Chain A
Amino acid sequence: MSAALRLWGAFRRLWGVIALLLGWQVAVEWSGVNSIVMPGPLGALRDIVAAPGLYLAATGQTLWLAAAGLVLGMALGTGMAVLTWLSRLLGGLLTPLGLVFASVPVVALIPVLARLFGYDTRTVLAIVSIISFFPSFVFTGSGLRALPPGSDDLFRVLGASRWARLRLLAGPAALPDWTVALRLAGANAILAAMLAEFLMGSGGLGEIFHAARADLDMNRALGASAIATVVSVLCFLGASRLEQAARRRWG
């Protein structure tokens, strides 16, 4: 009984995705055209099962670059936000600049960065870091300043040092906002890494996609994008869980 209930719950969540995939596959079968013109979900799945090693290696590389870039960018952004919190001068200088950059379509900068750093794996890392930097800087900065009313005065009256106020008050207050930045940046990191790999042809899922498109192997191209999609959705869901936990604990 409970298994049936759980199945029903899963169906309620997933009916849209299932309908999309089914409709697509049916359309492919019906039109009867070659997979070069119209690849279907089953064809992509067959290709993944047929060459697991290739996909695994590429996914590993993209995932590694995305994770390393995410950690680097988040660390830099968080560190910078803390610096601007500690120094009013730095805060005044950098906050408007950060806000301008946060509303810039950073993806448009990928070609510039690719030219600047060279067509290289390290460039992918730099691009993912820069894309992760802005949300963490903006969200951490606003979190550090959104304190419960009166709490900052209390700390001052009790003679707490700046460091103590950061560690005991502003830091915990900023954690929920920080996890929002992680959720936004995490899902984007995979996609940015894949886009950079695609534009520069530097290994990973993006290059599989690039090469498969050039060979008109649309099933493989679709397989690479399907894996990127699944990984990106999983990152988003994982980060959402973390955000809820942080809100319960520090919100």
Chain B
Amino acid sequence: MSPAQAERLRGLALGGLGIALFLGTWEVVGRERLLGLSWPALSDVLALLLNPARWPLYQRALSASLAALGLGYAAGLGAGLGTALLAHAARPLRPGLETLAAVIHAIPAIALAPVMILLLGREVTPAALAGLATFFIIYVSASSGLGAAAPVLHDLIRVLGGGRVARLWRVELPAALPVLGSGLRMAAPAALIGVLIGEWFGAPRGLGVLIINAMQNFQIPLLWSAVLLAVLVSLVLYGLLGLVQHALARRFR
């Protein structure tokens, strides 16, 4: 075994041990009631999560949240890319668009949620908040990616007789894809937070509704299992989009 391999193995073993210690502490604190009744043991939370009688409940909540997430993510992706292209094509508009995007991003989601419920209705609000969160991250990464191409390549396109469209299509868009990839990845947890907050304001169903109801009714294991489910969804999405990011980075770098 080479030293580098041994080092990697050591890192994996230590990392695994760290996570195991964390989970073990969680279990012991819950078993021994060290932090009171509000901290359930990991095994209780997992048992509830894996209890087939509860699956229809989780499934209803999860499918509503994922549908909102997908819709919002797609809309935010389209709007973010469109705005970044607009800002790229029309330079004078750029500083204003940037400030607008930053301000929209800074408006607290809890402040937007009620306005959106009035304007769009309770059903669409989670998707709309997810869309806004996605929009900002995609806009920022796409606009910095579009400026990332080496100026030499611009000259090359001009020498070969290509216009602005050719430059955009053959140089700037491919150069933007790796940066956009990390934006795609970071937008997923942000969009999920948007969905959850949107649901806290009274969507008919979803993971956020499950969480807030369990919190208010003191159903502690259900609260933790719903939060754990949300965390797992976020990690899975983050991991999957990480693969997309790697593929884009390898192909277009």
Contacts and interface: CB of A to CB of B under 8 A. Distances in A.
A99 to B, nearest CB: 9
A105 B192 contact: yes
Nearest to B191: A105
Interface stretch (A70-78, A110-118, A135-143, A168-176): A110-118
Interface in B203-253: 211-212, 214-215, 218, 220, 223-224, 227, 230-231, 234-235, 238
B11 A92 contact: yes
A94 B20 CA distance: 11
B15 A107 contact: no
A108 B108 contact: no
B110 A225 contact: yes
B197 interface: yes
Give the secondary structure class of B's interface.
helix
Given A104-B231, A104-B235, A107-B193, A93 B108 contact: no
B100 A229 contact: no
Interface stretch (A13-21, A51-59, A144-152, A156-164): A13-21
A114 B215 contact: yes
Contacts of B35: 116
Nearest to A107: B193
Interface string B1-24: 000000000110111111101100
B14 A236 contact: no
Contact of B235 (A100, A109, A221): A100
Contacts of B220: 115
B223 A112 contact: yes
B97 interface: yes
B96 interface: yes
Nearest to B104: A20
Contacts of B235: 100, 103-104
B18 A96 contact: yes
The 6 A-B pairs with the shortest beta carbon distances in the complex, nearest first, are A225-B111, A92-B14, A16-B100, A96-B15, A93-B18, A111-B215
